[in-house]
Amino acid sequence: MEFCNCSVCIKFSIIDENLQQKSGRYISIRNAAKHRVSDRQTSPPKERLSSEEYPQSSGSDNSSINSDKYFDIQKSNPLGLFMVVFISWLHLFCNVSQENWKMAITMIMSVFNLALQHQNPNRNIPIVPRDPQTLIKRANVDIELTKNICCQRCFCLYEFGRDTPLRCGYKEFSNLKSCDEELFVQKGIYKGHKDVGQIEQYLTSMPMTPFSIGTPRCVFVSQRISTWLKWLLSKSDTENVIDTWAGSIHQDQDYGFLSDIQHGENFKQIKWENKPNSLKLALSLFVDWFNPRGNKLSGKIESNGIFAISCLNLPPIICNKLSHMCICGITPGPYSPNTQTLNHLLKPLVDELVKLDSGILIPTYQYPAGQFIQIKLLLVYGDILATKKAVGFASHSATKFCLFCHAQAPELAHLKLAQRRCKDDTLSAAWASKAAISKNA
């Protein structure tokens, strides 16, 4: 309820909480708004008073409002007015905190001081970029991403260039037909004539044929591991955290506690190159698929995958945090690749891991000139479907224990220790399978 004393409600009277009679009545908020609008429409317009008819307030009256003081800042200090407007804009429209206000004010004052110290600042003002993208590009804060044209059917990757085919030429086997999926969407543009549709003389006088330009239907965006490592090791605390955590887990192992992956035999048995002042890093790869639309909607399902790299030398509390992980790539949708086509998306990642296996020189915070870094991929984890696609882990219905032996699960009671398959035998079998002309070859 709202108290209303309009021309209609003023005829009524009520007793307020101080037992005083008051003209008006309580009505709903909606009706009170209607009454106010009705009074504005029916009341005669007020004549504007001249400057001589305004009452002049004395200087000794502190309750009077002098409007000149609100505009003194504009006359005497325009830079101060700019600061007030800028900070107000940050507060009202950008929801910036007070700490960030202080940082913004400090930066602006630094710009003012630098401009005053310069002999001729007017020469530098025109060459300052106005485009935010240009400023960010010069600051070199954006992540270096790799983009490849991706086939939506077989997920085969192609580089951007003049030699890129218009259709996908991938063949699962040499005796099968190619994928033949279109890689580009052809769009027509009128080169040299910007507003053809709005000018009648172009439509009536001469026929115009648009130029055809191909736009990729699907682009696979990935990030290099070396780029992520340069950023991670450029932080001031990364190397100290790695060294501190390594000393802590070695101390735990001396007391008989096994609490980290670095206590495992696989981590200890990794073959590293013995070089002085080298940093040995073990990585893990996380693979999984998700529905970007959330739950199922009318039976429609979209599936996107993610390849994420984390450093196992970091403590577990920060190892798998998004701030310390590398998003190597996100598989395009709407369908997930199978066990064969996933190799196309994993190829850039695997090729880089092969190069990093022998070591690379990376500038770090403690070694700005460069430090020799050795990188090994130690483990791959995810759910059953993801790990089965990525690295061939066995499913729930698998009959063999692993890829390196021919022992079967039903023969577990009669299982005997035998000679294990060598790594070369497994690799030769994989190359033979890749070069096969058919599935039954």
Mean pLDDT over 95-108 rounds to 87
Does residue 165 surpass a pLDDT of 60? yes
357 CA to centre of own chain: 28
46 has pLDDT over 50: yes
The predicted-structure confidence for 215-240, as pLDDT tens digits, reads as follows 888 999 999 999 999 999 998 888 99
pLDDT above 70: percentage of residues in the chain: 81
pLDDT at 55 over 90: no
Mean pLDDT estimate for the chain: 79
Split at pLDDT 50, 70, 90, the class of 350 is very high
Look at the pTM and tell me if it is higher than 0.85: no
Say whether pLDDT at 75 is over 90.
no
